[in-house]
Structure 1
Amino acid sequence: MAAVRALLAPRLVAAAAPTFAPVPGLRPLLLTGPVPAPRAAFHGSAPRPGARVALVLSGCGVYDGTELHEASAVLVHLSRGGAEVQIFAPNVPQMHVIDHTKGQPSESETRNVLAESARIARGKITDLAQLSAANHDAAIFPGGFGAAKNLLCCIAPVLAAKVLPGVEVTVGHEQEEGGKWPYAGTAEAIKAMGAKHCVKGVTEAHVDQKNKVVTTPAFMCETALHHIHDGIGAMVTKVLELARK
């Protein structure tokens, strides 16, 4: 399994909200009422406030939380695009803690998803239960195993496939191609849910104009880090274009 990401426009966030209730310990995504903490705009040198983007994290570390390179790349590209960013994570225990030097669970450790995500957010983070779709133009979910273990029932494009019948998403290619796309089987799971999978390269992003969903393969592909960074940049650019419409 690898990392993916998806844009959810406000209406998709609202539609997805009921799917959070069945997850043990996770409160609904969409609530009414004001957000108590101000949005944190990373890199205040941006010329003016732009799109209001919610970044949803799921911990800190690829095997049990958010993939750090993906989260960082998203923040860099959002900063360059002048976006106003607020970071969220659920205030729940992690499913488990992985020793990243061994790739195995650390049985004696327990961690909190919000506290771990705060490491990436440099402390500027809000409980996911406070996220309201009305306060944001878009939401971005970086990948990492935490998206499946701590945040959602499955990886980000598959979430869109579950809540939007016929939605178009990409997780890259549909064949392993000698190990370059080791998680290509995910495309079949997406199709089985009634969604459309669109083949894209790692530096590309796919836009579903009807549903306002943007996806890019990222770490679904075994390739150099800068290619993944470029693909995330393409995704963020498309997200901000949609947010301005």
Structure 2
Amino acid sequence: MKEKVAVILSGCGVYDGAEIHESVITLLRLDQRGAQVQCFAPNIEQLHVVDHYSGDEMDESRNVLVESARIARGKIKDVRELHVDDFDALILPGGFGAAKNLSDFALSGANCTVQPDVLAAAKAFADAAKPIGLICISPVLAARIFGNGVECTIGNDHDTAAALTQMGAVHRECEVSEIIEDSARKLVSTPAYMLAQSISQAASGINKLVDRVLELVHGG
């Protein structure tokens, strides 16, 4: 039976949305493994818009759901339509959108909150003991989803790891090609572009994460 996996995106582009390489690698690996995938995103305005050529902030507004549809080739739904009973697992790629749109970690650090619709969806998977994969910077959401004591990784960035610890998570350092698993919570995380210097390096850990999430669907 094909696994059904929900993927939550946070826009389109590393500096203000979902990291495109990470998102595509995730979707590709899920397809290679025969999983059925549905993308979701919150129907909200982005924190801001960044010119990915110059790196400068732009004086315009964009919608996270509309921008995420670029990656999903239009096949995307409002995260409010994400019902845990319809899926076996959940994966969140990284990119600054996870820290700017899915949460306010980029502004508030350890005092951050998670966008309510995203938090409700993710907590539903956690409460149902269904596997969750968090990639790159998205593990900053882990403590808000699972509570204190959750084990995860963002690689080895000291400041970000310290913020995770302050939030109640247990940070474990991890190489780009590896994953960290919190077996009790069925949470898998990998650093990806928190450490990766190339798309192939990012893929090495993401592929392992996807594979492990799918294994956990069947009891690991």
Common fold by TM > 0.5: yes
Rounded Cα–Cα distance in structure 2 between residues aligned with 1:194 and 1:113: 28
Rounded Cα–Cα distance in structure 1 between residues aligned with 2:4 and 2:196: 32
Shift of 1:148: 1.5
1:237 matched to 2:188? The reply is no
Q: Which residue is equivalent to 1:171?
A: 154
Q: Secondary structure at the match of 1:185?
A: helix
Q: TM-score with structure 1 length normalisation?
A: 0.73
How many pairs were matched up? 187
Report the residue type matching 2:194 in the other structure.
M
Q: Which residue is equivalent to 1:111?
A: 62
1:92 to 37, 44, 55: 44
1:53 matched to 2:35? The reply is no
Shift of 1:91: 1.1
Report the residue type matching 1:151 in the other structure.
L
Question: Which residues of structure 1 form unaligned runs of 5+?
Answer: 1-48, 174-182
Structure with greater Cα Rg: 1
Report the residue type matching 1:115 in the other structure.
V
Structure with bigger RCO (C-alpha 8 Å, 6+ apart): 1
Q: Which residue is equivalent to 1:44?
A: none
Q: Which residue is equivalent to 2:95?
A: 144
1:191 to 131, 156, 165: 165
Q: Which residue is equivalent to 1:205?
A: 179
2:73 to 104, 122, 127: 122
Q: TM-score with structure 2 length normalisation?
A: 0.81
Residues 51 and 244, structure 1, Cα contact 8 Å, conserved in 2: no
% of aligned pairs identical? 50
Q: Secondary structure at the match of 2:91?
A: strand
Cα deviation 1:24-46 (Å, max 9, x = unaligned): xxxxxxxxxxxxxxxxxxxxxxx
Rounded Cα–Cα distance in structure 1 between residues aligned with 2:154 and 2:85: 28
Report the aligned-residue RMSD: 1.3
Rounded Cα–Cα distance in structure 2 between residues aligned with 1:236 and 1:201: 16
